Amino acid sequence: MAVGVALGTRPGSSALPARAATRTVRAAANTTRSVPPLVVRAPSGIGPNWTRVARVDGVAAAWIAQRGAVTLLRFDQNHVHLTLHTGSLDGGTVGWTYGDQITTREIHLLVAGFNGGFKLTYSNVGFMSNGHVAVGLKPDLASIVTYANGTSDIGAWGQGVPAAGEQVFSVLQNQQLLVNNGIAAATVSTCIITCWGATVGGVTTVARSGLGITASGQLVWAAGEQLTPDSLAQAFIDAGAVRAIELDINPDWVAGYLYVHHRTGPVPSPVVPGQVGIYGQLLAPDARDFFAVVAN
């Protein structure tokens, strides 16, 4: 942890990242506008070019692409932010700002959701949110860091993240960086099981997922049912990511959703062809940690 960086909310703030708190205040005013505050769609026939899937206050905020075996979602942090949720088994249900299902404060602003990292009982993981620690943070591990101002970054803990002077709201750590400085880790082809996680049946090509960040600060989620660490890393590099982290692997734990909003509430739409899916599609309590993507 960088010296002088506090973990938790900003002094005098609510128990939410700043962007989430701001959006809660703005939501009522937006209902009177001619432009809907949030529109999410789930297009069919997705191809290799980016297709817009979400607008926030009339501005494009999220895109999808299908490139070979890899599904990609791209998010503009000027308009959306991440929330890191615990699972009922990964972290438990007591004491967390964001627990084992999408909260009422997020439900009408929900753009997307996807799986988190390895089980918190594994080595080389870490988890903290709003000052509450499930697994202690470790130097050099690949980390998804969300600051109190609502923005997120990805990097090796203590080597680029957290940023000096920024207050940290949440951190998920999982192994080493898959991509750093736009280059795949040296072990993606030579150390698949030991370095990048045990798989069902010991196969090297399996369902995998991850999150990357571009030089301009856009977030990119990538996943597929038949990927190696090398092919996942290359997908991130081709999508413009300069740093990326592998998240969970194996068919039962890799899934992503877009949430199309109706009068009765959001309806989840799976995004990865062939994904097994998560019970309750993150709208019901889940045992594993996960991320939600929420409009600012």
Angle among Cα 48, 51, 53 to the nearest 5 degrees reads: 140
* Mean pLDDT of the 38-59 span: 96
Residue 13 lies in a domain: no
Residue 144 lies in a domain: yes
Residue 142 lies in a domain: yes
> How high is the pLDDT of residue 295?
97
Calpha distance 188→78 (Å, rounded): 32
> How high is the pLDDT of residue 77?
98
Read off the pLDDT of residues 235-248 as tens digits, 9 standing for 90 and up: 999 999 999 999 99
Residue 61 lies in a domain: yes
Q: In the predicted model, is pLDDT for residue 20 greater than 70? A: no
User: Which among 296, 265, 295 has a CA at the least distance from the CA of 281?
Assistant: 265
The per-type count for the chain, helices as H runs and strands as E runs, is 3, 20
The whole model's pTM is what? Answer: 0.90
Residue 2 lies in a domain: no
Structural domain total, the chain? 1
Calpha distance 127→24 (Å, rounded): 26
Single-letter residue type at 171: V
Token pair recorded at residue 116: 């988190």
- Sequence-separated contacts (24+) of 251-254 with Cβ below 8 Å: 251/200, 251/206, 251/207, 251/225, 251/275, 251/276, 252/276, 253/115, 253/207, 253/288, 254/115, 254/207, 254/208, 254/209, 254/223, 254/225
Q: What is the DSSP letter of 167?
A: P
Residue 158's CB is within 10 A of a number of other CB atoms, namely 15
**Residue 214 structural domain:** 18-295
- Supply the Cα-derived Rg of the chain in whole angstroms: 18
Residue 8 lies in a domain: no
Residue 77 lies in a domain: yes
> How high is the pLDDT of residue 194?
95
When mean pLDDT is compared across 7-11, 162-166, 167-171, 245-249, the lowest value belongs to 7-11
When mean pLDDT is compared across 12-21, 72-81, 131-140, the lowest value belongs to 12-21
Residue 180 lies in a domain: yes
